[in-house]
Amino acid sequence: MKTLDTPAMCSLGFVLLLCVASTCAVNAQTSNVLPAPRSQDEKMAWFREAKFGLFIHWGLYAIPAGEWKGKRSPGIGEWVMHRMKIPVKDYEQLAQQFNPFKFDAEEWVKMAEDAGMRYIVITSKHHDGFALYRSKTSPYNVVDATPFRRDVLKELAAACARRGMKLGFYYSQAQDWHDPNGAGNTWDFGPDENKDFDKYLREKAEPQVRELLTGYGPVCLVWFDTPRMMTPERSQRFVEIVEKLQPATLIDGRLGVKGDYFTTGDNFIPDLARDDDWETPATVNHTWGFRRDDEDWKSPGEILFKLMDIVSKGGNYLLNVGPDADGVIPKPSADNLRTVGRWLKVYGEAVYGAGRSPFGEEFGEFSAAQKDRNGKPLFLVRNDWRCTTKPGKVYITIFNVPREGLDLPPFKNQIRKAYVLGDPQKQEVTIEMVNGVRVARVPRPGPHATAYVLVLEIEGDKIER
């Protein structure tokens, strides 16, 4: 063996070591970002698989919780500053009180996991302009402006990475009630038309979106919102930032130009299936940000029906919780979500990666006589069952089965096998012909089942009608 310890070899070794170390550092950084997808299908793959996500609205508004100076502020909690026309100099004082000592990122992620959710989207900055992470762009953030001094998004990103949960960021690109040139705050800064909106975009929103896409690992999506004053040119600048820094990151439907998927109105579920990729953002009560007085929680059964309604129409369900000022997700909402998660443990095969219904008549029909609020024909919703699909399989989630059995809608394929999901014996479900209609005699799997899933294994990949 030749000795290497001449001074020249030593310094060569040192240089080599340095090179290795610096490549490692670069790798650690770049491996933070997922490779560029080769097609839109590849880009959308995780989203189409996931189906169910957790939305989190959290910020300074959790402190007033729907009330300001003893007066109730009507509407959604995170809008309190706007509703009550609170001056920036008063509202920003809230930062000094923000000290959510019970915040535990791991617990939040665990809750989402228990609920069967496959991605989390959190408000990195809502309309009030306050950033929930350490931002070099603006000191109005959770580390530099609060006694808490912890980077909430860093902790959440780390917990998500540990648990294999996808993480995305809501970012209010247009409305910023804290910035003199952001949209929305007319009580401090006058009408939006007189503002230098591009100055705000260039100096706050764009740099902050860059920060979010560089310091927090892979970001599954950016959820832009309320695109006031967002011209196509302005919106395109955000598209370019996202594409350049993280080409695999999805953009929602509220940037100002077309994103990677369509976002419905809040809590809105379309009457019929859609062919594109889409998502319904929804609340578990009537607010996004925490409100002390809103305890009107949707039940697990309601949530489950909405989930299956959405999935059977080809969409994703992004369901929100609003943690309180201590950092706690209100227990009733967490409990209800966990109940849905227990259902998904058994019946998840009908949800994750499942495609839309090949039928449509189960959604209901337009009334010939009755009109809705807008004078359009009223859609009479049917809610007995919803249908999802995978190649060769049809999943019928039954919410209400008539005693005589479930009439299957007409289709040409032979049924090779029928059973109830989660039945370890895969016991055959009898299907009888009654006047040319196939009737499934589905046994209720237990006395407490709110819904259960009938699986039909069919001849061929797809339903032929």
Shortest Å, Cβ 227 to ligand JFZ? 9
Q: How many residues bind ligand JFZ (CB under 6 A)?
A: 9
Query: Which of 172, 413 has the CB closer to ligand JFZ?
Result: 172
Site string for ligand JFZ, 186-225 (x = CB under 6 A): ---------------------------------------x
The single-letter code of the amino acid at 37 is P
- The number of C-alpha atoms within 13 Å of 18 and in the hemisphere containing its C-beta is 6
Query: Which of 288, 347 has the CB closer to ligand JFZ?
Result: 288
Shortest Å, Cβ 226 to ligand JFZ? 5
C-alpha radius of gyration, the chain, whole number = 26
Judged by phi (left if over 0) then psi (alpha if -120 to 50, else beta), residue 311 lies in: alpha
User: What DSSP state is assigned to residue 263?
Assistant: E
> What are the DSSP calls for 351-389, one per residue?
TTTPBPPS--GGGEEEEEEEE-TTSSEEEEE--SEEEEE
Region 139-178 residues binding ligand JFZ, contact defined as CB under 6 A: none
Shortest Å, Cβ 287 to ligand JFZ? 9
Query: Which of 265, 402 has the CB closer to ligand JFZ?
Result: 265
Query: Which of 141, 264 has the CB closer to ligand JFZ?
Result: 264
Query: Which pair of structure tokens corresponds to residue 235?
Result: 């919106």
Shortest Å, Cβ 395 to ligand JFZ? 30
Shortest Å, Cβ 224 to ligand JFZ? 10
Shortest Å, Cβ 49 to ligand JFZ? 23
The region of 8-16, 74-82, 187-195, 269-277 touching ligand JFZ under the rule CB under 6 A is: 74-82
Candidates 186, 214, 226, 236; binder of ligand JFZ (CB under 6 A) is 226
The region of 38-46, 72-80, 338-346, 395-403 touching ligand JFZ under the rule CB under 6 A is: 72-80
The region of 12-20, 61-69, 76-84, 426-434 touching ligand JFZ under the rule CB under 6 A is: 76-84
Query: Which of 200, 347 has the CB closer to ligand JFZ?
Result: 200
Q: Cβ atoms within 10 A of the Cβ of 56, count?
A: 21
Q: Which of 53, 211, 60 is nearest to 126 (CA)?
A: 60
Cβ-Cβ contacts under 8 Å for 38 (sequence gap 6 or more) = none
Shortest Å, Cβ 360 to ligand JFZ? 24
Residues 445, 420 contacting (CB under 8 angstroms): yes
CA dist 402 and 434 (Å) reads: 15
Cβ-Cβ contacts under 8 Å for 168 (sequence gap 6 or more) = 119, 120, 121, 122, 219, 220, 221, 222, 223, 249, 250
Question: Closest residue (Cβ) to ligand JFZ?
Answer: 265
Query: Which pair of structure tokens corresponds to residue 32?
Result: 């933070």
The region of 30-38, 73-81, 191-199, 325-333 touching ligand JFZ under the rule CB under 6 A is: 73-81
Region 78-117 residues binding ligand JFZ, contact defined as CB under 6 A: 78-79
Q: Cβ atoms within 10 A of the Cβ of 95, count?
A: 20
Apex 105 CA angle, 241 and 326, nearest 5: 110
Rounded to the nearest 10°, the torsion over CA 354, 355, 360, 366 is: 90
Shortest Å, Cβ 79 to ligand JFZ? 6
Region 237-296 residues binding ligand JFZ, contact defined as CB under 6 A: 265-266, 281, 288
Burial of 124 (0-12, 13-18, 19+ CB in 10 A): buried
Residues 405, 440 contacting (CB under 8 angstroms): yes
Asked if 375 interacts with ligand JFZ (CB under 6 A), we say no
Apex 121 CA angle, 116 and 126, nearest 5: 150
Shortest Å, Cβ 266 to ligand JFZ? 4
* Cα end-to-end span (Å), the chain: 77
Query: Which of 278, 352 has the CB closer to ligand JFZ?
Result: 278
CA dist 300 and 305 (Å) reads: 9
Helix axes 105-114, 152-163, angle to 10 degrees: 40
Shortest Å, Cβ 447 to ligand JFZ? 38
Query: Which of 43, 57 has the CB closer to ligand JFZ?
Result: 57
Shortest Å, Cβ 276 to ligand JFZ? 16
Site string for ligand JFZ, 21-60 (x = CB under 6 A): ----------------------------------------
Residues in contact with ligand JFZ by CB under 6 A are 76, 78-79, 225-226, 265-266, 281, 288
